[in-house]
Amino acid sequence: MKRIVRITILFSLVVILFISNSCKNKDDKSLNVFRIQDDVALGKELEQYIASNPQEYPVLSEAQYPQAYAHIRGLRDSILNANKVFYKNEFEWKVQIIRDDATLNAFCAPGGYIYIYTGLIKFLDTEDELIGVLSHEIAHADRRHSTDRLTKEYGLSLLVGIVAGTTGQDQLAQIAASLTTLAFSRSDEKEADEYSVKYLCPTTYNAAGAAGFFEKIETLGGQSIPQFLSTHPDPDNRIQNIYDNKTSEGCLGNEKYDLRYQQFKASLP
């Protein structure tokens, strides 16, 4: 009987894997067994968990700060409207601001649920730096790095829980916490850097904005490295690679939108 159960489970997983790969964008090289709709389902559950925990995740009220949200969503739309994001229409791409000036962080949950901390926004100097970071985080979701890593960390039980709707609050809390410090591989980080340039290349922005972010990080002198860079604290090679990618892609935009960015920062609490 146990042997039959094991065979049934194995067969089911093979079917899931087949369906997953058949539904993916042809340029999606990820190897996890999540379907695209599973990415969105997991992201939605995480969004609901984060919204229910304002002490840990104090999301800024859009009703109180409509100007700030209009601006950050305008940045998101600039990326999406360049039509380089593979899952532009399949993922939610919902961006929210977490009110925490002490934290230099940003993360994107599977399915395109983006969170940016006020500490990071206020730390940066120009708009191209922030949109560079935003593009980098979008790339992690769009290239499906998040679910690749979560699959490796939590195994198939996570997928089964999502599909069955049995994911518990404790597990959601664990996953939400891990997203803020998710240790992507060096190849994932390199790819996200490359795509941050690709996404911005058709726009008027300086497509190497993410390099400006890393240059800003270097001014910290090794201190207070953001959590999401904890596994790769030395940005030297990444800075040069991003500039090289901008050149090789033939990107012409150079706008930093300094004044507009200062106005955006002033709209925050």
Task: Give the span between the Cα atoms of 103 and 6, in whole angstroms.
Answer: 46
| pTM for the model | 0.84
Beta strand spans in the chain (E): 94-98, 106-109, 113-117
Residue of higher predicted confidence among 147 and 97: 97
Name the DSSP letter for residue 91. Answer: S
CA–chain centroid gap for 29, Å, is 17
Residue of higher predicted confidence among 30 and 158: 158
Place of tokens 């039509």: 83
| pLDDT score, position 2 | 41
Q: Which residues contact 240 (CB under 8 A, 6 or more apart)?
A: none
Domain boundaries, the chain: 35-266
Banded pLDDT at 234 (limits 50, 70, 90): low
Whether residue 252 has pLDDT greater than 70: yes
| pLDDT score, position 30 | 52
Task: Give the span between the Cα atoms of 3 and 10, in whole angstroms.
Answer: 11
Residue of higher predicted confidence among 39 and 227: 39
Whether residue 28 has pLDDT greater than 50: yes
Q: Which residues contact 139 (CB under 8 A, 6 or more apart)?
A: 145, 191, 192, 194, 195, 196, 199
Average pLDDT over residues 47-76: 96
CB 120 within 8 A of CB 180: no
